[in-house]
Structure 1
Amino acid sequence: MNLEGRKILVNKSREDLVAMLKNPEDYRHLMPESLQNFEAREDGFKFSLKGMPEIALKIDEVLANQVVLKSASSSLDFSLTGNMEDAEEGKTQVQLLFEGDFNPFIKMMVEKPLQNFINALTDNLEKL
C-alpha cells in the first residue's frame, strides 16, 4: 500500500529541516491535534492518537534530502519517507510518502486513518 502527501513548501532550508527531523523530540510538534501520548526515544519515538493503537517509529535513515522512519514493530512492515528538495532561498519542497505491506483486511482498516495522519503531518510541516 502506497500513500502520498501533497507537495508543500516549508519555510526552512533543507539542511535545517533535516537537522530538525533527526531529533525524535521534534516530531511532537508535527503530530495531529488528536495526539494522546508521545514519548521520544534515542532512535525514534512512540505515540498514540485518539482512537488508534500506539505506534512506534524509529529514525532509520537520514540523508541530505531524505528522512526515513520505519516501524519499530516486527508485526507491521511500513515506512514513512520525507523527500526534500531545495526550493527558493531558505525554503524546501517536501513530500511525505508512506509504503506498507499489509494484508487486504488490514489495508481496508488503516488506509483512511493513515492518509489523514499523513495529511495532518503535512499541514503541520507547512506551518513551520
Structure 2
Amino acid sequence: MEIKSTQVTINASQKEVFDFLKDAQNIYHLLPQDKVTNWEADEKSCSFKVQQAATISLIQDELNEPATIKMVSGAKTPFPFSLTILINEEGEGQSSGYLHFDGKVNTFLKMMVEKPLTNLFNYMSERLKKRFEA
C-alpha cells in the first residue's frame, strides 16, 4: 500500500527543512498533539501511540542530504513500512515537500488504515509548512 501526502510549499530552504527533520525528536511537532501519547525519541528514532490505534516506531534508515529522509518501522509497529520525506529546493528561500508511505499490509488492514494514515500524512505536511511560517 502506498500513500503520498499532499505536497506543500515551505518558507525555508531545502537544507533548513532537512536539518529540522533529520532530528527524529522534531517529528513530534508535526503530529496531532491531542491524538498522540507515549512519545519517546532520540535523534535517530521515535515511538508514539496514536489514539485508538497501534504504537508506531520510526527508525532513520537513510539520509540523503538535503533531499530525502527515509525512516523504517521499528519493532513495536504492527506491520513493516517505510516513510520517506522528500524535500525539493524551490529557490528564493523556499522548498516543497511531501511524505511517501510504503507499507506491507493485507487487504483487510488496508481498508482500516488507509484513510486514517492518509489524513495523518496530510496533517503532517501542513504542520511542516506552518512550522516555517513567519
Q: TM-score by structure 1 length?
A: 0.92
CA contact (8 A) 1:78 1:98 kept: yes
Match of 1:8 in 2: 8
Q: Is 1:94 matched up with 2:103?
A: no
Q: How many residues align?
A: 128
Q: Distance in 1 between matches of 2:25 and 2:128?
A: 15
1:32-82 alpha-carbon deviations (Å, 9 max, x no partner): 132223110352100112111111010111112111111013752111111
Mapping 1:17-56, distance limit 5 Å? 17-33=17-33, 34-56=35-57
CA contact (8 A) 2:22 2:43 kept: no
Name the aligned partner's letter for residue 31 of structure 1. L
Q: Distance in 1 between matches of 2:82 and 2:120?
A: 13
CA contact (8 A) 1:40 1:46 kept: yes
Name the aligned partner's letter for residue 122 of structure 1. S
3-state SS of paired residue (1:87): strand
Q: TM-score by structure 2 length?
A: 0.88
Alignment RMSD, CA only? 1.5
Q: CA deviation at 1:122?
A: 0.9
Kindly, what percent of the aligned residue pairs are identical? Answer: 32
Gaps of 5+ in 2: none
Q: Is 1:120 matched up with 2:120?
A: no
Gaps of 5+ in 1: none
Name the aligned partner's letter for residue 49 of structure 1. V
Q: Is 1:111 matched up with 2:114?
A: yes
Match of 1:76 in 2: 79
